[in-house]
Amino acid sequence: MSDFDDDYEIRTFPAAIDDPATDAWFAACTLGFHGGVATPETASGDARRAVADGRVLTGVYRREPQSDTVDADGWPVATYETFGKSLHVGGGAMLPAHLISGVTVQPTHRRRGILRRMITDDLARAAKSGSAVAALTASEGTIYRRFGFGPALRERHVTIDARRPVTLLGEPTGSVELVPVARLESIAHDVFARFHARTPGSIDRHAGAWNRTLGLAIGDEEKPDRTLRGVVHRASSGDGGVGDVDGYATYRVTETEKEAVLHVVDLVAATDDAYLGLWRLLLSIDLVTRVTWDAAPLDDPLVHALADNRVYDVRHEEDHVWFRLLDVPAALSARPYASDGVVTIAVSDDLGHATGTYRLTSEGGTGAVKRAAVRRADVELDVATLGALWLGGIDPVTLAAAGLVRERRVGAVQTLRALLRPERPVYGVTYF
């Protein structure tokens, strides 16, 4: 028996309502992310949303907890959870994704191999069950690459100076209306489904995401967020009338003695007109000095639509979603391709799930992938790099310049670039 197994026990179980083990798991997870001590209301809310998502919880427990500690109250010293949602891989195709969240290790139990044990065991189970890809969003940027995850989607935190009139160069069609946030839930689910269906890289939303973006239940008492405001965009109908809702946003305004800042909490648009129409409204609200948004796409149409795009300032850019391929042929075959071509790819993987050389053949937008027995592949990379460029959100030419893609046949990286180009920018607004 290893030292780890002498000291710790790993338990994996489905989340359940009115379950002490589930409540203790969430209490430990909240501690890891510096949240407040759970009340019965928050514990019930966490469990209810976890059950709605079908989440599976993993906890690492001390075999001999010290008295008068949180461990003695049944809290795990480390947490880890998984659940499944659809991932849009391009062309309207959806692939089930194995999502990882809630990863914490108590500071008193670091450097003991706990994270490695949890994540390697989980990835092995996911691969055995047939999952082609795992995904996560990371609180820190240096943890997950060693487990084969590559940052595939990025986002920007932006500020728009609204102290003077902000105008758009064009005139988006449709109309916008302010609505009570309490009436947004059914509308928002429909709009998000349409956004999800047109946006490669999008991951379907879970119960907790809706809770935050619509302010359904927050705080210790799990009550609605009264500070949120809502706006919807309606498309123009064919006869010049008003059509269906095709976009919405939620926002709040915070005020100090010096300024009033409008914070966009959620903005989801199923059409280009809805995106620009929502922004036209948000940028025209009176008595606001700045508008901020922490989920802007890298290739933001708003920058080009603004008459003066110097009012648009990128405050910060960071990784958003990381992908880890577990079944390379299944993952590469699932997505569409922008051109015809053939390229062989040698993949290294310290955990062994993706190791091999693969021949990708694209014809008529469809890709076929087989293991290849060649002396030298056209390109060589590790599984984390493959996850980063898989959906086309990161350019393989850029990754080659960064030393992460090694070209062994002249022109192979350009071939890969042409194959992987997505039909729309890779983007997502789901956090987990």
Q: What is the mean predicted confidence (pLDDT) over 168-187?
A: 94
CB of 397 within 8 A of CB of 413? yes
Checking if the pLDDT of 218 tops 90, the result is no
Q: What is the mean predicted confidence (pLDDT) over 5-22?
A: 96
Checking if the pLDDT of 1 tops 50, the result is no
DSSP tag of 71: G
pLDDT at 223: 86
Q: What is the mean predicted confidence (pLDDT) over 161-189?
A: 94
CB of 135 within 8 A of CB of 324? yes
**Edge to edge, what strands does the sheet with 8-14 contain?**
8-14, 56-62, 78-90, 93-105, 133-136, 312-325, 150-161, 290-296, 260-269, 242-255, 229-236, 175-179
Q: What is the mean predicted confidence (pLDDT) over 51-58?
A: 97
The mean pLDDT of the chain is 95
**Cα–Cα distance measured from residue 214 to residue 405, given in angstroms and rounded to the nearest whole number:** 41
Total structural domains within the chain: 3
Checking if the pLDDT of 2 tops 90, the result is no
Checking if the pLDDT of 79 tops 60, the result is yes
pLDDT digits (tens, 9 = 90+) for 305-341: 999 999 999 999 999 999 999 999 999 999 999 999 9
Is 173 within a domain?
yes
Is residue 292 domain-shared with residue 194, that is, in the same domain? Answer: yes
Is residue 194 domain-shared with residue 307, that is, in the same domain? Answer: yes
Domain boundary among 318, 345, 361: 318
Domain boundary among 107, 136, 165: 136
**Cα–Cα distance measured from residue 138 to residue 321, given in angstroms and rounded to the nearest whole number:** 8
Is 150 within a domain?
no
Q: What is the CATH number of the domain that holds 40?
A: 3.40.630.30
Q: What is the mean predicted confidence (pLDDT) over 106-113?
A: 93
What's the token pair of residue 255?
A: 């005020």
Q: What is the CATH number of the domain that holds 394?
A: 3.30.1050.10
Identify residue 275 by its one-letter amino acid code. Answer: Y
pLDDT at 402: 98
For a pLDDT cut of 90, what percent of the chain falls above it? 90
Is 301 within a domain?
yes
Is residue 206 domain-shared with residue 296, that is, in the same domain? Answer: yes
CB of 58 within 8 A of CB of 80? yes
**Cα–Cα distance measured from residue 23 to residue 17, given in angstroms and rounded to the nearest whole number:** 8
Is residue 248 domain-shared with residue 344, that is, in the same domain? Answer: no
Is 228 within a domain?
yes
Q: What is the mean predicted confidence (pLDDT) over 190-202?
A: 98
Is residue 209 domain-shared with residue 358, that is, in the same domain? Answer: no
Checking if the pLDDT of 238 tops 80, the result is no
Is 151 within a domain?
no
Is residue 293 domain-shared with residue 185, that is, in the same domain? Answer: yes
Q: What is the mean predicted confidence (pLDDT) over 399-416?
A: 98
> At residue 56, what are phi and psi to the nearest 5 degrees?
-110, 125
Is residue 301 domain-shared with residue 345, that is, in the same domain? Answer: no
Is 145 within a domain?
no
Is residue 241 domain-shared with residue 167, that is, in the same domain? Answer: yes
Is 285 within a domain?
yes
Domain range for 71: 3-136
DSSP tag of 164: S
Is residue 187 domain-shared with residue 87, that is, in the same domain? Answer: no
Is 90 within a domain?
yes
Vertex 49: Cα angle to 268 and 155 (nearest 5): 35
pLDDT at 237: 81
Handedness of CA 56, 60, 64, 67 (dihedral sign): negative
Matching residue, tokens 């062309």: 91
Domain boundary among 283, 318, 353: 318
pLDDT at 220: 75
pLDDT digits (tens, 9 = 90+) for 339-393: 999 999 999 999 999 999 999 999 999 999 999 999 999 999 999 999 999 999 9
Give the CA-trace dihedral at 74, 218, 83, 347, to 10 degrees: -110
Is residue 262 domain-shared with residue 160, that is, in the same domain? Answer: yes
Is residue 342 domain-shared with residue 304, that is, in the same domain? Answer: no
Is residue 286 domain-shared with residue 401, that is, in the same domain? Answer: no
